[in-house]
Amino acid sequence: MSYNGRETPYILYVSFSLFVIARRVRVLICLFLS
């Protein structure tokens, strides 16, 4: 198994997408609570 620069961008993409999803969920929760 050789790492030729594909693993790191994938991990960054997953972490970024999770951050965006968590941000949207927090906004939706704030809207529902208000």
pLDDT of residue 25: 97
With respect to residue 1, please indicate whether it lies within any of the assigned structural domains.
Answer: no
Whether the pLDDT of residue 1 is over 60: the answer is no
The DSSP code for 6 is S
| Burial annotation 1-34 (CB, 10 A radius, 16+ → b, else e) | eeeeeeeeeeeeeeeeeeeeeeeeeeeeeeeeee
Q: Identify the residue whose tokens are 């994938």.
A: 10
pLDDT of residue 23: 97
Q: Identify the residue whose tokens are 């030729």.
A: 4
With respect to residue 34, please indicate whether it lies within any of the assigned structural domains.
Answer: yes
- Give the tens place of pLDDT for each residue, 2-25: 556 666 778 889 999 999 999 999
Number of domain units in the chain: 1
Is this prediction's pTM over 0.85? no
With respect to residue 31, please indicate whether it lies within any of the assigned structural domains.
Answer: yes
CA angle at 16 for the pair 23 and 21, rounded to the nearest 5°: 30
| Residues spanned by the domain of 19 | 9-34
